[in-house]
A and B are shown apart, each in its own frame.
Chain A
Amino acid sequence: MFGRLTWDAVPFNQPIPLITSLVVILALGAVAIWVTRIRAWPYLWHEYITSTDHKRIGIMYIVLALVMLVRGFSDAIMMRAQQSLAIGASQGYLPPEHYDQIFSAHGTIMIFFVAMPFVIGFMNFVVPLQLGVRDVAFPTMNNVSFWLTASGVLLVNLSLFLGEFARTGWLGFPPLSEKAFSPGVGVDYYLVALQISGVGTVLTAVNFVTTILKTRAPGMSYLRMPVFCWTSLASNLLILAAFPVLTVTLALLMLDRYLGFHFFTNDGGGNSMLYMNLIWIWGHPEVYILILPAFGIYSEVVSTFSGKPLFGYRSMVFATLAICVLSFTVWLHHFFTMGAGADVNAVFGIASMLIGIPTGVKIYNWLFTMYGGRVRFNVPMYYAVGFMLTFVVGGLTGVLLAIPPVDFIVHNSLFLVAHFHQVIIGGVVFALMAGYTYWFPKAFGFTLDERLGKAVFWCWFIGFHLAFMPLYVLGFWGATRRMQHIPDPTWAPWLNIAFVGAAIIGLGIVLTVVQLLYSIRTRDRRRDITGDPWDGRTLEWLTLSPPPHYNFAVLPDVHGEEAYWTRKQTAIKEERLIDEPNYQPIEMPLNTPVGIICAFFASVCGFAVIWYIWWLAILGLIGAFAIFVWYAWRDEHEHIIPVEEVRANARERRRIRMEHLHELSQSV
């Protein structure tokens, strides 16, 4: 009746998951009670949960990512603590079967449920505004994409309360992940959660490629698009091309586990090397999916805070597309030590280095953007410069790893772990924090506190270096990754420094929360009155903060590169705004509960598949199909915003702009 779900699944005899589960349930309960008491459910339902507004969906993605950052970081600090304690005779406080779940969950959560949603959240919020349009091409599908991602989050976290998580690392290599060697539910939680959220991700890609290529403001040709839109395009093209491979690979493993197929098994002719190839054909483009939008954020931040256009715009576009294409040609560098032979290894090694060329060009272009500028060191600029210093070292270690004979001695070691954290934290996380600070006022109408923001930056910068520089050393000393127990006591000082670094990062995360709460409480001191607090150069700064639901009363007419900047300079010089346009009523898509209901059925089906409750799985599938049919029967797709409202909002914006015209300029 309940498949393999029994009372054994609840971790009564494991204190850490048990207590964590209780705390999380209590916390969720407390939040639910509070929301009920302030009668906020209807607001949440109408303004966020069923919203088809790209801005609201973007905010939801980022909230999801920040919450999961706490979970992923908790896993990290637990691992650091274990490695500091479990040396020599001591086994630490985490037995292997628990430690192995923690490092697997850490990687899975950080990549799929922190970095991806955070990046997608920014693309959601920013791209339509920068393109000068009202929403993405498929707003309802956008809502569905978000909730499917949330479904994946739910399932991964459910593994803490019921059953266990995978113990195979974040990529689940067979044969270890096959039924024979991982008979429990852990790998199934991993596979099902990723399959469900993977569907959401591919739909996002369809949405954004269509939006960027087919819906832009009048006059915005390709070479007038902001660089963040170019990098979002490249990233979404990568998602479109790479995620189906992930779907297939995980599906093949599921077929092995559920139906006894022989894709990757030791017997029956299965070939585990095939999994390695397939998963990394997805895996390498995945990291570029994350870093390209990050590069886009840096381009926006550096040019805005230098008071100059981005240096070498066309070169940057070309470099972005080159990275996009090249990222599909390098996957074998993840397994040079599999024994493919000298020619194959060398070719892939050289291909991997080639990606360093366009990346290097970007660094120099950012440098020359600052050159001749008037650089303002607000928080986002701290992250940008911190990135430029940190990421190039990560690139160096990456090129080292791309040389097969070097990889032969540091593959899978703590050197590798330090490398990828350096490029992900120095590259992606710093960009996310910069973007968070940079676009926060646009989303909420006030800026975040600068001093706390700088403190957060220093925690990340110093904490990162302390946490990972020792790992490079240990990697050279022969320390491999994923060790629950440390054999050599002389490694202890380095691991302890690393622990301190992780703790400082933790402080940074705490301060981020403090900064948010403090900034909300004191928001009146830092109101974004004009909508352009940073002297911005792209179209999102044309609107008030937050923008109206429909973004622009009239889609801006784009006449050259940096449309908003030119328009602003002209207005300041001539001391007047452009002529008032002819306002029209605006059609906007309706809200819809389809996303959350579909995700509900997907979660039910997923849960049932994990626990072998077949009748429930079928019910879940039927429910998902039923909601699709119900949605298809909808007759009204849009509502109309009356012209009086549009005109009133627009005139208010024009009045404020005219009044504060000279405050907009900060570089002079």
Chain B
Amino acid sequence: MGPPELNQVPSRYETALRATGALALLLFATGCNRGVLNPIGPVAAQEKQILINSTAIMLAIIIPTMIATVAVAWWFRRSNSKASYRPDWEYSGAIEMVVWAIPALTIMLLGGIAWIGSHDLEPSKPLASKVAPLKVDVVSLDWKWLFIYPDQGVATVNQLVVPAGTPVSFRLTSATVWNSFFVPQMGTMIYTMPRMTTRLNLQADRPGTYNGLSSHFSGDGFPGMQFEVQALPPAQFATWAQGAHGQRTALDGRGFAELSKPSSYVRPMTYGAVAPGLFDAIVAGRAPQLHQPQAAPPARQASAVPPGG
């Protein structure tokens, strides 16, 4: 219980802190151009801005606090005879006021950002644009994504094709369990829930290929729910939609029943025709599905279909 070699303690702390700080800086510096930090649409861009602003505001408080913590701990170490020992100092009204005020003011500022940001970026709010939005109906299945384009009369699986610079207005649901539709570079994610419809509005400003995924665990085939977003120049999008019509596979009742069989890591595919009202039927629970509840529960449930290569 004797005192440790106290002159070594601060330098050990300092070294550790410096090393950690350098590593952190390195980590964060190299992380800057990917995912949500590389937005390609107005929603994601605004969200990134809020993220950065809020972090900066809080760092302005937290970094001095951390420095003060280390400084105070080091200066008032027992072996430092220069530090004054004030064993009865346990209250100061002025300090109390300040320590309540600092977090309170910070939170007031961030609260304002939260209020305004929540309203500006409400997922169901249509995006301001001169262009009419593209409508896409999204259905999460076990374990792939179905995208129906009601105005174009086609559908795709695990591939979302949109025109660049055009807002996309989504209606989303799930045929089975909860999932979450998420394209990091486009911004906001939203849950997909069976028998319910959620709404989302996003836009890809420039053409390109972007990653999409499900961000809510949905079972054994969950890791295979990656999908691809292709943003095409508007003219090319129109061409694509016309070409998609030529696909022989139709997403009718039988086609949907086939599709809803459990499968994962499904390759992108396109349907040339979609049964009218399919999305509403899925939301109402009236669409034919082959994933039925099992009668006699086994001791261990069967695993998902193993992924294709």
A contacts B directly (C-beta below 8 A): yes
Smallest CB–CB gap between A174 and chain B, Å?
A: 8
B275 at the interface (CB under 8 A from A): no
- The answer to whether A312 and B91 touch across the interface, beta carbons within 8 angstroms, is yes
Within 8 A of A (CB), among B189-228: 189-191, 193-196, 198-199, 211, 213-224, 226
- Chain B residues contacting A185 (CB-CB under 8 Å) are 297, 299-300
- How far is it, in angstroms, between the C-alpha of A113 and the C-alpha of B229 when the chains are bound? 43
Task: Given A175-B194, A410-B36, verify A370-B78 contact (CB < 8 Å).
Answer: no
Contacting chain A: which of B81-89, B159-167, B239-247?
B81-89
Contact for A408 among B123, B294, B303, B306, CB less than 8 A: B123
- The answer to whether A339 and B100 touch across the interface, beta carbons within 8 angstroms, is no
- The answer to whether B191 and A8 touch across the interface, beta carbons within 8 angstroms, is no
B110 at the interface (CB under 8 A from A): yes
Report A167-194 CB contacts with B as 1/0, cut-off 8 Å: 1110001011001111111100000000
Contacting chain A: which of B112-120, B127-135, B148-156, B251-259?
B112-120
Question: Looking at chain B's contact residues, is the secondary structure mostly helix, strand, loop, or mixed?
Answer: mixed
A400 at the interface (CB under 8 A from B): yes
A73 at the interface (CB under 8 A from B): no
Within 8 A of A (CB), among B138-194: 176-178, 180, 182, 184-185, 187-191, 193-194
- The answer to whether B285 and A412 touch across the interface, beta carbons within 8 angstroms, is no
- Chain A residues contacting B104 (CB-CB under 8 Å) are 357
Report B64-93 CB contacts with A as 1/0, cut-off 8 Å: 011011101100111000011111111110
- The answer to whether B223 and A484 touch across the interface, beta carbons within 8 angstroms, is yes
- Chain A residues contacting B96 (CB-CB under 8 Å) are 312, 315
- The answer to whether B78 and A376 touch across the interface, beta carbons within 8 angstroms, is yes
Report A392-429 CB contacts with B as 1/0, cut-off 8 Å: 11011001101111101111110000000000000000
Smallest CB–CB gap between B235 and chain A, Å?
A: 29
- How far is it, in angstroms, between the C-alpha of A95 and the C-alpha of B65 when the chains are bound? 45
- Chain A residues contacting B68 (CB-CB under 8 Å) are 367
- Chain B residues contacting A346 (CB-CB under 8 Å) are 114-115, 118-119
Smallest CB–CB gap between A259 and chain B, Å?
A: 14
Report A460-478 CB contacts with B as 1/0, cut-off 8 Å: 0110010001101100111
B281 at the interface (CB under 8 A from A): no
Smallest CB–CB gap between B20 and chain A, Å?
A: 6
Taking each of B70, B99, B124, B189, which has the highest tally of chain A beta carbons within 10 Å of its own beta carbon? B99
- How far is it, in angstroms, between the C-alpha of A606 and the C-alpha of B96 when the chains are bound? 51
Task: Given A337-B190, A339-B123, A367-B68, verify A167-B219 contact (CB < 8 Å).
Answer: yes
- Chain A residues contacting B216 (CB-CB under 8 Å) are 412
B6 at the interface (CB under 8 A from A): yes
- The answer to whether A8 and B293 touch across the interface, beta carbons within 8 angstroms, is no
- The answer to whether B3 and A267 touch across the interface, beta carbons within 8 angstroms, is no
- The answer to whether B46 and A405 touch across the interface, beta carbons within 8 angstroms, is yes
Smallest CB–CB gap between A353 and chain B, Å?
A: 5
- How far is it, in angstroms, between the C-alpha of A360 and the C-alpha of B95 when the chains are bound? 13
- The answer to whether B50 and A406 touch across the interface, beta carbons within 8 angstroms, is yes
- The answer to whether B178 and A476 touch across the interface, beta carbons within 8 angstroms, is no
- How far is it, in angstroms, between the C-alpha of A345 and the C-alpha of B91 when the chains are bound? 38
Smallest CB–CB gap between B120 and chain A, Å?
A: 8
B59 at the interface (CB under 8 A from A): yes
- Chain B residues contacting A307 (CB-CB under 8 Å) are 78, 85, 87
Which residue from chain A places its CB closest to the CB of B30 in the assembled complex? A473
- Chain B residues contacting A376 (CB-CB under 8 Å) are 3, 77-78
- Chain B residues contacting A310 (CB-CB under 8 Å) are 90
A523 at the interface (CB under 8 A from B): no
Which residue from chain B places its CB closest to the CB of A8 in the assembled complex? B299
B122 at the interface (CB under 8 A from A): yes
Smallest CB–CB gap between A606 and chain B, Å?
A: 17
A374 at the interface (CB under 8 A from B): yes
- The answer to whether B226 and A403 touch across the interface, beta carbons within 8 angstroms, is no
Within 8 A of A (CB), among B40-67: 44, 46-48, 50-51, 54-55, 58-59, 62, 65-66
A335 at the interface (CB under 8 A from B): yes
- How far is it, in angstroms, between the C-alpha of A96 and the C-alpha of B307 when the chains are bound? 10
Contact for B34 among A89, A175, A388, A477, CB less than 8 A: A477
- The answer to whether A8 and B300 touch across the interface, beta carbons within 8 angstroms, is yes
- How far is it, in angstroms, between the C-alpha of A408 and the C-alpha of B114 when the chains are bound? 12
A361 at the interface (CB under 8 A from B): yes
B277 at the interface (CB under 8 A from A): no
Taking each of A5, A176, A350, A405, which has the highest tally of chain B beta carbons within 10 Å of its own beta carbon? A405
- The answer to whether A485 and B36 touch across the interface, beta carbons within 8 angstroms, is no
Between-chain CB contacts (< 8 Å), 14 pairs: A183-B297, A311-B90, A345-B118, A349-B118, A372-B86, A399-B58, A399-B107, A406-B51, A409-B51, A411-B215, A450-B1, A477-B34, A478-B34, A666-B1
A307-B87, A376-B3 are known; give 12 further A-B pairs, CB within 8 A: A9-B299, A91-B307, A97-B301, A100-B220, A164-B301, A168-B217, A182-B301, A308-B87, A342-B119, A345-B122, A360-B99, A399-B110
Chain A positions near chain B (C-beta within 8 angstroms): 4-6, 8-9, 89, 91, 95-97, 100, 163-164, 167-169, 173, 175-176, 179-186, 266-267, 272-273, 306-313, 315, 335, 337-339, 341-343, 345-346, 349-350, 353-354, 356-357, 359-361, 363-365, 367-378, 385, 388-389, 392-393, 395-396, 399-400, 402-406, 408-413, 447, 450, 454, 458, 461-462, 465, 469-470, 472-473, 476-478, 480-485, 487-488, 526, 533-534, 666-667
The list of the 9 closest CB pairs from A to B, nearest first, reads: A360-B103, A372-B86, A478-B184, A180-B293, A364-B99, A477-B35, A346-B118, A183-B297, A478-B35
